[in-house]
Chain A
Amino acid sequence: MKKFFAVTLGILTAIGGFVDVGDLVASSLSGARFGLALAWVVVVGVVGICAYAEMCGRVVAISNRPVFDLVRERLGARVSLLNLVASYLVNLLTLGAELGGVALALQLATSVSYLLWVPVAAFVLWVVLWRVKFETLERVFGLLGLTLVIFAVAVFRLPGHGPELWHQALSPVPTHGENWNTYGYFAISLFASAMTPYEVFFFSSGGVEEKWGPRELSEMRSNVFVGFPLGGGLALALMAVAAQVYHPLNVKLDTLGQVALPAALAVGKLGLAIAILALFAVTFGAAMETGLSSAYVVAQHFGWAWGKLVPPRRAARFHTVLLVSVLVGAAVLLTTINPIQLTEYMLVFSAVVLPLTYLPILVVANDRRYLQDHVNGKLANTVGVVYLVVIVVAAVAAVPLMIVTGAGG
């Protein structure tokens, strides 16, 4: 029974933890522009993150080393240094975007400008990462993130669900008045939002700290193969409500308030309150993960002590990187850049560096030296290679499409 409870809790946390500011923005924006015509990309992205997260989990459970730790050995010192710089920068951008999401959610709840909330959110985030029992909080925010279910409820209470949505989802082409370039640009953003690099860094580092072994493999797999797809379902719900409310009116979204509004229209004040709580929970949870991931990648590349189980003074370099990253993330927002735009840029940049994140995982997951008999089977390798091709195409096309479309303009 206890085991059953642990597995259920893990799955629930994975569902709530799947969605972050990237999913919120990419799903809502593309829902408003294209209805459900891009829904298939979410499905494609979820399958990809499941396949690669499972590989990461397996590497951790058998070798007891986080994935980024092994990357340097397999890519060589020079390429992995490039990988480190790219991964760190994209993590930092993601952290900034998540903090922006937290501040915007607080603005929605209080009507106090998000710029005033940024330093508060950054400080609380740092204190949490410095002192508070992290595992508990990760669970709390993961579970609070489940309040996103309000958007799934909203789908059925808003007009226009049913045949119309199906019809949109089954005609995966640009809607009237849109062209293929914009369609492609939004497809890449959505794909990147499902496969944001920090997810695997965080996932594998967490596994090392929780001391996963071969016995934990089945629990890890159930979290990944059940939790992530259900989380992807919540992202689809966000897309659907945007498709129902904004698509018919031809409205383009540019605020987080517009993301929450359909819940208010469908369920009233209570719905709005739950939606704001959900936005806060998922962005703050992701801010914790991206903050830690920024420090993980640096520490694991250079072989420094890292993690939450060591007192900070025994891991001074790790905690310095963590502190500096949170400060820089907050500083980026205080330039008054629009957090929604920051999120869009973060997704494009994520798409560009995706091959650097996922190629080494595929290589390591095939290395018998680390995995012995648990190396990738035929299925994992087929899916892995197919996705690597998709990832490379997305990476190459991301910047040209951003320029051609004026960032989706």
Chain B
Amino acid sequence: MIGDDRMDVGYELLDLQILDRDGMEVGKVDDVEFHLDEDGVPYLTALLVGPDVFGHRIGGWLGRVIAATTRRLRTNRSGPVRIPYDLIGSVRSAVTLTVSRDLLPEPELEHWLREHLIARIPGSGHAQ
């Protein structure tokens, strides 16, 4: 971090792993959201997680394919998972949130694969 309230977003935040309060994986910082304050100075408002924002950010042929595929497969209009900046606890080798991931919207692919495939296989509820 550069100072207490400033950081190099590209170097220190983008592509970092996001973990919830209990250390469970939430996703990567695929992109970030800025708003402008009254003086026109941008400030960070949220972390964005999802293959479509990831595809947009990396751009190019592959990025467009990833973004378009994600949009095409989307069953509702929810968009990427948005994590407000207030929920961030700490930023070290990962971003740790102050809440459990169960309180955040579940990624659609995870939901779909669980309901249609994984949860139907016996023993899916047991850890080893």
**Are A and B co-members of a single complex?**
yes
> Measuring CB to CB, which residues of chain A are less than 8 angstroms from any residue of chain B?
63-65, 69-70, 72-73, 76-78, 80-81, 130-135, 299, 302-306, 308-314, 316-317, 319-320, 323, 369-370
Q: Which 4 A-B pairs have the closest CB atoms?
A: A303-B28, A316-B114, A63-B93, A303-B27
Please tell me if B41 contacts chain A, counting CB pairs below 8 Å. no
Task: Known contacts A72-B15, A303-B49, A316-B110; decide if A65 and B94 are in contact (CB<8 Å).
Answer: yes
Expressed in whole angstroms, the Cα–Cα distance for A45 and B15 within the complex equals 32
| Contact across chains for B25 and A306 when beta carbons are under 8 A apart | yes
Task: Known contacts A130-B121, A133-B128, A309-B127; decide if A317 and B110 are in contact (CB<8 Å).
Answer: yes
| Contact across chains for B128 and A320 when beta carbons are under 8 A apart | no
Q: Smallest Cβ distance from A18 to chain B, in angstroms?
A: 24
| Contact across chains for A309 and B110 when beta carbons are under 8 A apart | no
Q: Kindly list chain B residues whose C-beta atoms are within 8 Å of the C-beta of A312.
A: 118, 121, 123-125
| Contact across chains for B109 and A317 when beta carbons are under 8 A apart | yes
Q: Smallest Cβ distance from A308 to chain B, in angstroms?
A: 5
- Nearest chain-B residue to A313 (Cβ)? B124
| Contact across chains for B58 and A313 when beta carbons are under 8 A apart | no
Expressed in whole angstroms, the Cα–Cα distance for A339 and B16 within the complex equals 39
Q: Smallest Cβ distance from A241 to chain B, in angstroms?
A: 38
> Measuring CB to CB, which residues of chain B are less than 8 angstroms from any residue of chain A?
14-18, 24-28, 49, 51, 54, 57-58, 60, 62-63, 93-94, 107, 109-111, 113-114, 117-119, 121, 123-128
| Contact across chains for A78 and B121 when beta carbons are under 8 A apart | no
Expressed in whole angstroms, the Cα–Cα distance for A299 and B28 within the complex equals 10
Expressed in whole angstroms, the Cα–Cα distance for A82 and B110 within the complex equals 23
Expressed in whole angstroms, the Cα–Cα distance for A78 and B57 within the complex equals 9
Q: Kindly list chain A residues whose C-beta atoms are within 8 Å of the C-beta of B118.
A: 312-313, 316, 319-320
Q: Smallest Cβ distance from A128 to chain B, in angstroms?
A: 10
Task: Known contacts A78-B60, A303-B27; decide if A134 and B128 are in contact (CB<8 Å).
Answer: yes
Q: Kindly list chain A residues whose C-beta atoms are within 8 Å of the C-beta of B94.
A: 65
Q: Kindly list chain B residues whose C-beta atoms are within 8 Å of the C-beta of A317.
A: 107, 109-110, 113
Task: Known contacts A304-B110, A306-B25; decide if A369 and B121 are in contact (CB<8 Å).
Answer: no
6 additional A-B pairs beyond A78-B62, A304-B110, beta carbons within 8 Å, are A80-B15, A132-B128, A134-B128, A299-B25, A302-B51, A323-B117
| Contact across chains for B25 and A303 when beta carbons are under 8 A apart | yes
Give the residue among A77, A130, A316, A369 with the most B Cβ atoms within 10 A. A316
Q: Kindly list chain B residues whose C-beta atoms are within 8 Å of the C-beta of A63.
A: 93
Expressed in whole angstroms, the Cα–Cα distance for A259 and B126 within the complex equals 40
Expressed in whole angstroms, the Cα–Cα distance for A33 and B49 within the complex equals 53
Can you offer 6 A-B residue contacts whose CB atoms are under 8 A? Answer: A132-B128, A312-B118, A312-B125, A313-B118, A316-B114, A369-B93
Task: Known contacts A76-B15, A313-B125; decide if A302 and B27 are in contact (CB<8 Å).
Answer: yes
Q: Kindly list chain A residues whose C-beta atoms are within 8 Å of the C-beta of B28.
A: 72, 302-303
Expressed in whole angstroms, the Cα–Cα distance for A304 and B17 within the complex equals 9
Expressed in whole angstroms, the Cα–Cα distance for A76 and B11 within the complex equals 9
A303 partner, pick from B14, B18, B109, beta carbons under 8 A: B18
- Nearest chain-B residue to A134 (Cβ)? B128
- Nearest chain-B residue to A304 (Cβ)? B25
Expressed in whole angstroms, the Cα–Cα distance for A299 and B125 within the complex equals 19
Q: Smallest Cβ distance from A66 to chain B, in angstroms?
A: 9
Q: Kindly list chain B residues whose C-beta atoms are within 8 Å of the C-beta of A130.
A: 121, 123
- Nearest chain-A residue to B115 (Cβ)? A316
Q: Smallest Cβ distance from A82 to chain B, in angstroms?
A: 9
Q: Kindly list chain A residues whose C-beta atoms are within 8 Å of the C-beta of B58.
A: 77-78, 81
Expressed in whole angstroms, the Cα–Cα distance for A293 and B117 within the complex equals 21
Q: Smallest Cβ distance from B87 to chain A, in angstroms?
A: 16
Q: Kindly list chain A residues whose C-beta atoms are within 8 Å of the C-beta of B24.
A: 305, 310, 314
